[in-house]
Structure 1
């Protein structure tokens, strides 16, 4: 065995050894078992905040519903007020009290939740649905910071700790790149260039470091397991109340902090769902454009032909759809009975089978149609191959293929397809003519922006014009980067294709929480 081979085998052995040590470390640092205490309604003399309880109740894996529980806890402490004007809890509003505005001694994650509510409040109040973020990235960043602050509080209380100690974690991290160094030396000795040598050296270490990073979670302390058992007893007591799970957020005035702890422990399902600090409902967004809060319903025309198309694109699509219709019509008219032939007993295995030509014609027409629709992919080829199989393996001159070949004129299915693609070609031509008109002008606030598949595909832009509670998304060209959620814009649009031709910024999006302001409908 050469020295190069020895280095490769040595690196592979070190990887196996690292994985064995890693598995042993995972087994040694696994979370202990929480022993639930008897059902109890006692919170204790110095109970952990609901945000920390959300971490303990979720086995140190996450802080789901921690933000909602913290908001309910702030309400129970009189810093905010939740009002439900009718029977529908979704219309609940949250208001900042004088105590909330003057509050100073708050934990970082409590301050983060309160600041988010203050940022969305107008005249001291806001609908609970308006607390949600309008962008996925901002929601993820906000919740990541909240989780980090809650974990810091749990560690400060001695309830949580790093899964791996500093020494063990550092040793695993540095040793993960040792096998790669052997691979690098072996690659250089084997005559490979420096780039290839660095790649084979870094790749194994990066993969092992990734595994290590996924395992770097929180781990319970003995005190944390004890307190988690206590809160499991409170969960059992709250679960015994059948109606507790469906209590609305405004019920905090009756249940006080119990509603917050129930939300943190996953018992109060309704309140946890309504008080969302995530990206919210993409089809129902709260807007203040126009001066008062309104829930605007958004429709996304994903299946609308010609959506976001330019005049050259529409003309190309029309020509393609017309070509598909003409080709399928010519195929149906020129079809002859001998296109469905029988295979003789002495056949030499020719690919000409009964119905193969018919199958090929129909499948080719379908493929052209998919190309026109922009839905062609590598999986389409597999489906097309499977669609060819019946015609390739038919073994007689009778049956469906023979009857289709003998039929005079287009079949009903062919007529329907020709009519569909013909109508689509006419539709695209009409849209291309409408695109020649002068664009219309609309002004409003950007509610949401969503990307679609493909770098060259137009994005969805939902605009609130202030005059209605419903809106349909526009197509924003993929190259546009100057518009942000929450900004007020004046758009030049083509209503036929719902395409944005140009955009003028009226007011930039406000930073730090999309803090809204009352804006008149005729803003300019």
Structure 2
């Protein structure tokens, strides 16, 4: 065995050893068993905040419902106020209080939730649905920071710790790249260039580091397991109340902190669902633009032909569809039955099979249309080849292909294709003409911005003009910059394709829940 082969085999053996050691580390650092205490309604002498209880009750895997539980706890302590004006809990409102505005010395995660509420309820209160973020990235960043702050509190209380010790974690991370180093040396000695050797060396280390990263989480301490058992007893007591799971957020005035702890422990279903601090419902957003809070329903025209297309693009599409319809029409009229022959197993003549004669004409027309429309690429040839495959299996003296090839004049399917694609060509041509009109001007607040597939595809921009409860998204060109959710803008738009031609910033978007400006900014 050569030295190069020895290095490769040595690297492979090290990978196996690393996986074995990693498995032992997973087993050795798993959480212990939580022993639930008897059902109890007592919090204890120094109870952990609901946010920390959410971590303990979720097995140290996450802090689901921690933000909602914190909000309810703040309401129970008088720092915010929750009201339900009618019978529908979804219409509940959240209000800032003087005590909440003057609160100081709160833990970071409580201050974060309070800032978010104060920012949204700055002008006399807001619907609880308005707490949700309008931007998915902002929501993810906010919740990630909240989780880190809760974990820091749990560690400070001695209830949680990092899964691996610093020595074990460093050893696993360092040793994950040792096999790759051997592979790199072996690749260089084998005559490969440095780029290939580097790729061979990095790949296994990256894969092992990914496995290690997926296992990084919090781990219970002995005190944490004991406290988790106590809160499991409270969960059992709350679960015994059949109506507790259906309590609305405003019932915190009656249940006090029990509702907050029930939400943290996953007992309440209604309150935790209504108090969402995520990216919210993308089809129903609360807006205060115009002076009063109201829900705005949103439509996304995903299947609307020509949505967001420029005049040039519309003309290309019209030309491509027109060429396809015209080619199919010419081919259908000129096609003769003797262009194809019936073949059997003893004869080749595959190029004159009825299926191939028909598919070549149709696929060829489609390819020509794609070329004219400017959408032809290398994958188109593969699709065209696959589309012609059924023609290879049309043999014998019977079958749809045989009967269709013998038909005089255009087939019904060809009539339908000519009509549909001809109508689409006319539709795009009309849109191109409408695009030449003077653009309209609208002003409003950006409610949401949603991406679409493809880097060059226009994004969805939802604008609230303040005079309707139903709006349709506009197409914002992918290259547009400087527009954010919550900003007030003046847009020049083309209603025919719902395309934004230009955008002027009227008022910049304030950071949602920003601590430094939470008490000064208007509700976005």
Bin the TM-score by the shorter chain: over 0.9
- Report the counterpart of residue 135 of structure 1 in structure 2: 135
Which residue does 1:174 correspond to in 2?
Answer: 174
Paired with 1:263 and 1:322, the residues of 2 have a C-alpha distance of: 60
| Cα distance, 1:77–1:16 mapped onto 2, change above 3 Å | same
Matches within 5 A, 1:173-212: 173-212=173-212
Alignment of 1:35 with 2:40, yes or no, is no
CA–CA distance in structure 2, aligned partners of residues 360 and 35 of structure 1: 72
Is residue 321–residue 422 contact of structure 2 (8 Å, CA) maintained in 1?
A: yes
Instruction: Provide the residue aligned with 1:443 in structure 2.
Output: 443
Q: Which residue of 1 aligns with 2:214?
A: 214
Q: Tell me by how many angstroms 1:121 deviates.
A: 1.5
The 3-state SS of whatever aligns with 1:355 is: helix
- The match for 1:294 is 294
Q: Which residue of 2 aligns with 1:334?
A: 334
Whether contact under 8 Å (1:139, 1:278) holds in the other structure is yes
CA change 1:503–1:369 in 2 (3 A) is same
Q: 1:50 to 1:434 in 2, by over 3 A?
A: same
| Paired residues of 1:352 and 1:392 also in contact (CA < 8 A) | no
Specify the alignment match of 1:429 in structure 2: 429
- 1:374-409 deviation digits (Å, cap 9, x = unpaired): 999998877766654543223322232233223333
Query: Which of 144-153 and 190-199 deviates more?
Result: 190-199
| Structure 2 gaps, min length 5 | none
Q: Identify which of 512, 515, 522 aligns with 1:517.
A: 522
Q: Which residue of 2 aligns with 1:165?
A: 165
CA-CA distance at 1:302 after TM superposition: 0.8
Instruction: Tell me the SS of whatever aligns to 1:483.
Output: coil
SS of 1:210's partner is helix
Deviation, 1:463, is: 0.9
1:265 maps to 2:265: yes
Matched, 1:241 2:241: yes
Aligned residue for 1:185, secondary structure, equals helix
Stretches of structure 1 lacking an aligned partner (at least 5 in a row): 520-524
Question: Are 1:9 and 2:12 counterparts?
Answer: no
Q: C-alpha displacement at 1:418, in angstroms?
A: 1.3
In the alignment, structure 1 residue 109 sits paired with structure 2 residue 124: no
**Stretch of structure 1 that moved more, 163-172 or 402-411:** 402-411
Contact 1:11 1:180 in 2 (8 A): yes
Q: Partners in 2 of 1:378 and 1:57 — Cα distance?
A: 54
Greater mean alpha carbon deviation, residues 193-202 or residues 501-510: 193-202
Aligned with 2:85: secondary structure? coil
CA distance in 2 between partners of 1:152 and 1:52 (Å): 10
Change (3 A) 1:351 1:153: same
SS at match of 1:305: coil
Q: Taking structure 1 as reference, are residues 35 and 374 closer, same or farther at Cα in structure 2, changes over 3 Å only?
A: farther
| 1:489 corresponds to | 489
Q: Distance in 2 between matches of 1:376 and 1:55?
A: 53
- Closer, same or farther in 2 for the Cα pair 1:5/1:311, shift >3 Å? same
Is the 1:339–1:358 Cα contact (8 Å) retained in structure 2?
A: no
Q: Classify the secondary structure of the residue corresponding to 1:513.
A: coil
Displacement of 1:495 in angstroms is 0.8
1:512, distance to aligned residue in structure 2 (A): 4.8
Displacement after TM superposition at 1:6 (Å): 2.0
Matched residue, 1:465: 465
Counterpart CA distance in 2 for 1:330 and 1:247 is: 70
In 2, Cα distance between the equivalents of 1:397 and 1:359? Answer: 18
Q: How does 1:276-315 map to 2 (within 5 A)?
A: 276-315=276-315
Residue matched to 2:93: 93
1:106 Cα deviation after fit = 1.5
Greater CA deviation, 158-167 or 120-129?
Answer: 120-129
Question: In the alignment, is the contact (CA less than 8 A) between 1:288 and 1:517 conserved in 2?
Answer: no
Match of 1:229 in 2: 229
In the alignment, the residues of structure 1 paired with residue 58 and residue 373 of structure 2 have an alpha-carbon distance, to the nearest angstrom, of 46
- Give 1:365 deviation, angstroms: 5.5
- Larger deviation: 178-187 or 494-503? 178-187
Kept after mapping to 1: 8 A contact 2:34/2:228: yes
Distance in structure 1 (CA, Å) of the matches to 2:457 and 2:27: 48
The DSSP-based 3-state class of the residue aligned with 2:350 is: coil
Report the TM-score, using the length of structure 2 for normalisation.
0.92
Structure 2 counterparts to residues 305-384 of structure 1, below 5 A: 305-348=305-348, 350-363=350-363
SS in 2 for 1:231: helix
**Whole-angstrom CA distance in 2 between matches of 1:376 and 1:256:** 65
> 1:323, CA displacement in angstroms?
1.0
- Rounded to whole Å, the distance in 2 between the matches of 1:76 and 1:332 is 77
Count of residues paired in the alignment? 519
1:407 paired with 2:407, answer: yes
Match of 1:522 in 2: none
Q: Specify whether residues 190 and 380 from structure 1 end up closer, same or farther in structure 2 by C-alpha distance, changes over 3 A only.
A: closer
> CA 1:429 to 1:280, structure 2 compared with 1: closer, same or farther past 3 Å?
same
